Amino acid sequence: MHRPRKLLELTLARRARLLIAADARARFPEECCGLLIGVLRAGKAHVTRVVPAANVAPPARRRRHFEIDPGALFAVRRTLRESGATRHREAILGYFHSHPGGNALPSGADLAGAHEVGLVTLIAAPPRKAGVVPLRAWLRLGGGPSSRFRPLKITTDL
Ligand SMILES: [Zn+2]
- Residue 14 in domain: yes
- Percent of the chain residues topping a pLDDT of 90: 66
Residues 30-84: pLDDT tens digits?
A: 999 999 999 988 889 999 999 999 999 999 999 999 999 999 999 999 999 888 7
Distance 74 CA to ligand 1 centre (A): 22
CATH for 97: 3.40.140.10
How do 135-141 and 120-124 pair as beta strands? antiparallel
- Residue 31 in domain: yes
Query: CB count, 10 Å around CB of 14?
Result: 10
Domain housing 90: 9-149
Distance 109 CA to ligand 1 centre (A): 6
Q: Quick one: average pLDDT of 75-103? A: 88
- Residue 33 in domain: yes
Distance 84 CA to ligand 1 centre (A): 32
Name the residue type at position 103. Answer: N
- Residue 99 in domain: yes
- Residue 63 in domain: yes
pLDDT on residue 1: 47
Distance 87 CA to ligand 1 centre (A): 32
- Residue 134 in domain: yes
The residue among 114, 96, 105 whose CA lies nearest residue 151 is: 105
